[in-house]
Every structure is written in structure tokens, then in C-alpha cells.
Amino acid sequence: MAPSGSRSIKRSCQTVLYWIPVIFITLIVAWSYYAYVVQLCIESIDNIGQKIVYLLAYHVVFILFTWAYWQTIFTKPMNPLKEFHLSYSDKELLEREDRGESQQEILRRIAKDLPIYTRTMSGAIRFCDRCQLVKPDRCHHCSVCDKCILKMDHHCPWVNNCVGFSNYKFFMLFLAYSLLYCIFITATDLQYFIKFWTNGLPDTQAKFHIMFLFFAASMFSVSLASLFVYHCWLVCKNRSTLEAVRAPAFRHGADKNGFSLGLSKNFRQVFGDEMRYWPFPVYSSLGDGCSFPTCLVNQDPEQPTSPGHNPTPNKTVVGESHQFPAKPLRESQSRLLNSAPSWTENGGAEDKERRGTSNPAMAIENET
């Protein structure tokens, strides 16, 4: 068999395997719908008013949960813009150079016109050999998707998708509504679960659905609660999962709070400025995913100020005054920098953390 045919079969098998966790979750949710709506509400609850209230509340949560799950799965991860890709001449020039320092000189020349402020731990330009591009800030290469993903958080097998800039809000809402879904089922099923053990339910197949529904919902609640709390903490700190494992490195060194703008601005960067969109899985995040406002106290000398651009005053430290950013920001990013609350929000605690930052251990990352 030709090598191309073998690779095609391998990719097809991998695609099927990657969808197995999603199919598993879908089957669990479909069964829970049948068990709750048919076996519990219709077959087991006698009170008409209680039955109507339970069914209405359940379907509101169920719709929001499935909507958020759908968006997380099928929202395509965003990739770097063409400006970050190497031109054909730059690729040839890079391939001709054998020495690492010469290659870095070429990459520095390319990166000087891009809004890039992060580096590798050794201070080099972050470059992806697979995609042949200069990585934007917070961008990482996913070995599963085989693509560079903007503001990559992690590759989630339960949604068969990379969680990143384009769908992180959807992922947060998926965690929130799936947790609410499980808590609601556990709370409303509890009294009938107790009746199961006290022989208060008729001896029908409904009693077994009620029992297993309570066990499944309560167990999922525990795992979802821990994951949701962790990602809420990441949103408040404006970090991704990868950045929590390994702090992003700037020219002045690693800084785990380099992208943190304060609690309110961190939250709005993910959920947007308009409160009416916060509870719904519709896109409302701020920025373009390729550049992010930071609270750097050292301006990158390799990023010259663009002509005609008045930089936004940056956070200052005693005895110093620096300006950031050197490159023009998108409108949504400018709102983050200029709108209330001020830079000092949550600043004291984060500055204290920043002073104590040391190089963390190696990250566990799906990056080539």
C-alpha cells in the first residue's frame, strides 16, 4: 500500500478515536434527558404544579448547557494572521542559515514590526517550525490539531477541540451550565432517591433510572466543580492553563502576571463589555487574539513606536515611568487599557506575586 494511503487510513482512525469522548458525553446527556423528563417527571411525580416547574427549569438549563457544549465543539480555533507567517524569501533565507544566532537575527528582523513582547525562556523569538511562523503572544502549537492556536489554553478531548481565544468563553459557559445541570438534577432527584431506599417508589423501571441518575449527576458535579473553580481563577488572573504551568517570558524575564489587568478587565477580556451577552454562548470577547495589552514595566526596545501613535501610559513603578504599548492596539484593547477601573485594581497583591516570581518547572504542553 502506498505511504499516502497508509497515512490517510491512520488519519481516519485517529478522527474516529478523537470523537469517542464526545459521543460518550452525548449518550450520557441523552440518557439523562430520558431519565429525568420521562422516568422522573412524567412517571414518578404526581403533583402537576411541581412537575411543570421542574420541567420548565430543567429545559432552560438543558438548552443553555447543550448550546454552550455545541459552540465549544464546533467553533473553529483561530490561527495567527498571515502577517505572522514567513514569506517565501524569508523561509529560504532561514533555511540557508545553519547557525542559531544567525537565524535569530532573521527572526528578530521579522518580529520587529509585529506586536510581540513574549520570548522563549532563553530570550529567543518564539518560532514554530511546523507552521513556519513567528508565534504571536500566548499562541502555542497544538500537536493534536497540528496548528498554532491563538491564546491556546489546552486541547480538550471531551469537546475534541482546542480551547483557545475563539471559544474560551464558550468553554467557561459549558463548565458553568454543565455544573448547574448536574446540581439541579441532584437537588430535585434527592427526595426520590431517598424514597428508593425506603421502598417509597413503585417497583418499576423508573426507580433504577432515578437511582443511577442521582449517582451520575452527583459524581459529575464534584469533578465539574473543581474544574470550573480552577478556570474561574485563571480568568481572574488572565492566565491560560499553559501559562499557569509555565509563566510567559518577556525581555525582562518570566512574569506570571504579565497579562493581568485587574479583576474587572481580565473578566471583560473573555466575556466582553456588554453584560447582556455574558450568560449566552455568543462571541463577545475583546481583541483579535494576536496581541494583548499587558502590565509590563519594561518596554521592549526592539519594538519601536509606530509613527503618529501616542502610546497609552503604562503601569509605573517607583522611580520609573514607561510607556506601553509600542504598537497600536485594537479598539477593544484600548478600552481595556483606558476604561475604569484603574490599573491599580488588584495591583497590590499581583505586584507582590510578581516580585516573588521565579522560573517555574517545565510546562506540560501539546507543543512541538
- Is the peptide bond prior to 325 cis by the omega test (within 30 degrees of 0)? yes
Asked whether residue 105 falls in the same domain as residue 120, the answer is yes
CB atoms within 10 A of CB 146: 10
**Residue 240 included in any domain:** no
User: Which residues are catalytically annotated?
Assistant: 156
**Residue 296 included in any domain:** no
Asked whether residue 96 falls in the same domain as residue 215, the answer is no
Asked whether residue 62 falls in the same domain as residue 167, the answer is yes
Q: How far apart are CA 125 and CA 127, in angstroms?
A: 6
Q: How far apart are CA 241 and CA 233, in angstroms?
A: 10
Asked whether residue 46 falls in the same domain as residue 168, the answer is yes
Mean pLDDT within 55-65? 98
Planar angle of CA 133, 139, 86, nearest 5 degrees: 10
Residue ending a domain, among 220, 248, 264, is 220
Structure confidence at residue 207 (pLDDT): 83
Planar angle of CA 339, 309, 240, nearest 5 degrees: 50
- The three grid cell numbers given for residue 252, joined into one nine-digit string: 525582562
Structure confidence at residue 4 (pLDDT): 64
Asked whether residue 60 falls in the same domain as residue 170, the answer is yes
- The three grid cell numbers given for residue 16, joined into one nine-digit string: 474516529
**What domain range is 45 assigned to?**
15-77+159-220
- The three grid cell numbers given for residue 235, joined into one nine-digit string: 480568568
Asked whether residue 57 falls in the same domain as residue 172, the answer is yes
Structure confidence at residue 172 (pLDDT): 98
Mean pLDDT within 125-139? 95
Residue ending a domain, among 220, 245, 262, is 220
Planar angle of CA 237, 85, 93, nearest 5 degrees: 130
Structure confidence at residue 330 (pLDDT): 47
Q: How far apart are CA 132 and CA 195, in angstroms?
A: 63
**Residue 39 included in any domain:** yes
Structure confidence at residue 125 (pLDDT): 94
**Residue 294 included in any domain:** no
Q: Which carries the bigger pLDDT value, residue 349 or residue 26?
A: 26
**Residue 63 included in any domain:** yes
Asked whether residue 167 falls in the same domain as residue 54, the answer is yes
Confidence of residue 334 (pLDDT cuts 50, 70, 90): very low
Range name among 152-161, 251-260, 276-285 with the lowest pLDDT average:
251-260
Q: Which carries the bigger pLDDT value, residue 15 or residue 84?
A: 84
Structure confidence at residue 192 (pLDDT): 87
Asked whether residue 88 falls in the same domain as residue 202, the answer is no
Beta strands in 242-327 (DSSP E): 249-250, 253-254
Structure confidence at residue 338 (pLDDT): 52
| Amino acid symbol at 169 | K
Residue ending a domain, among 68, 103, 135, is 135
Average model confidence (pLDDT) across the chain = 82
Residue 350 confidence (pLDDT) above 80? no
Domain count, the chain: 2
Structure confidence at residue 365 (pLDDT): 39
Asked whether residue 99 falls in the same domain as residue 68, the answer is no
Q: How far apart are CA 245 and CA 155, in angstroms?
A: 15
Mean pLDDT within 55-62? 98
Determine the 3-state secondary structure of 263 from DSSP.
helix
Q: What separation in angstroms does the CA of 182 have from each of 171, 186, 195, 217, 336?
A: 16, 6, 20, 5, 35
Q: Which carries the bigger pLDDT value, residue 253 or residue 152?
A: 152
Asked whether residue 111 falls in the same domain as residue 62, the answer is no
Structure confidence at residue 252 (pLDDT): 86
Structure confidence at residue 359 (pLDDT): 39
Residue 82 confidence (pLDDT) above 90? yes
The pLDDT tens digits for 139-159 are 999 999 999 999 999 999 999
Planar angle of CA 128, 272, 226, nearest 5 degrees: 75
**Residue 225 included in any domain:** no
**Residue 279 included in any domain:** no
Asked whether residue 56 falls in the same domain as residue 86, the answer is no
Residues 6+ apart with CB under 8 A from 91: 132
**pTM of the complete model:** 0.80
Report yes or no: 217 and 338 within 8 Å, Cβ to Cβ. no
**Residue 25 included in any domain:** yes
Mean pLDDT within 23-42? 96
**What spatial distance separates the first Cα and last Cα of the chain, rounded to whole Å?**
29
The pLDDT tens digits for 205-249 are 888 899 999 999 999 999 999 999 999 999 999 999 999 999 999
Asked whether residue 64 falls in the same domain as residue 98, the answer is no
